[in-house]
Amino acid sequence: MINAILDHESFVLLDGFHLTGVSSVSLSSRSNNSINSPIGTERGLTSPSGPSDQSMSLSRILIYQDPIYDILGKDKMVVGQIHDEKNNSYYGFESGYLRNYSINCAVGSFTKVNTSLGILDEISSGINRKKNGDVRNGPRKKNHPRLDATSQQTTSITSEDFQDNKVIGFNYSVSVDHKVYYGIGSVNPYAIEEKRPIKYTASVQLELSETYNDETFDFLRSRENRDISIDIEGKNGTKLNNVKIPNASLVGRDLSQSTNGTMTMSLSYIGHLGGDNKILP
């Protein structure tokens, strides 16, 4: 399209980091309104029925030590911007918090990371980067971590459930719930509180070289007794991420076999992390 803004003419800035490896980004805002029908008239009235829902979603290839995962559970707000270099303009927010963080890894593909953030203040354009690119107690722009692509040989996941079977893929996700407090006469919230426990889920796909030796009802008797650890490194040995599932429980097994295929099993886990943490004010 003529005069369209192309992907190489924009970049994403989050928590002071100029993010590389972004495959897609979106900023969305939804206003909660309802149409009322007052008595004595056929005319409708559109009025707010609740706070606006604003969010930022990011999909990235993991090619450096991920600074976004460190936001999880921290007492801080983050600044997010989509920068249009072609028109020297900006579109973003000043107060965001992490809602969900997920990792996907499979044989033959790069490790992918998806991130979802909630937004408290107004999403606006024309943000002055010299002012709003700052992060709390930090410089305007942080040094970018060293680039180092992943491979299937440099990614590992450990658990006593895998035995000698080959891991061919996994999905990891952590979700954080929040309670946002609004006051009369104010558009923006006056406080936000992180609601614990933080919830973890994971699924692991195995190519079986031996049959699974546990019984299916074991997970009814054995809960919160697993130690799940995922270690992701780059080809040059750079440590990109290490995530765990605290208080992990094995909650599902799916065994499958097909013609001209190998026998595979998918294991499903859940976990949680307790405690309370207030973010604002």
Q: What is the pLDDT of residues 207-218, one digit of tens each?
A: 887 666 566 556
**Residues 68, 59: contact at Cβ < 8 Å?**
no
Looking at residue 216, its pLDDT comes to 58
Task: Please check whether residue 207 is in contact with residue 256, taking contact to mean a CB–CB distance below 8 angstroms.
Answer: no
Predicted pLDDT of residue 178: 87
For position 139, what pLDDT does the model report? 36
Angle at 14 between CA 100 and CA 274, to 5 degrees: 35
Number of neighbours of residue 206 by Cβ within 10 angstroms = 23
- pLDDT-flagged residues of the chain (< 50): 127-139, 277, 279-281
pLDDT (tens digit, 9 = 90+) per residue, 119-159?
A: 888 888 764 444 444 433 333 556 667 788 777 677 777 77
What tens digit of pLDDT does each residue of 191-203 get?
Answer: 888 888 889 999 9
Residue 49, CB-side half-sphere exposure with 13 Å CA sphere: 8
pLDDT of 128 reads 46
H/E run at residue 54: strand 53-61
* CB-based contact 206:167 (threshold 8 Å): yes
How far is the C-alpha of 107 from the C-alpha of 169, rounded, in Å?
Answer: 6
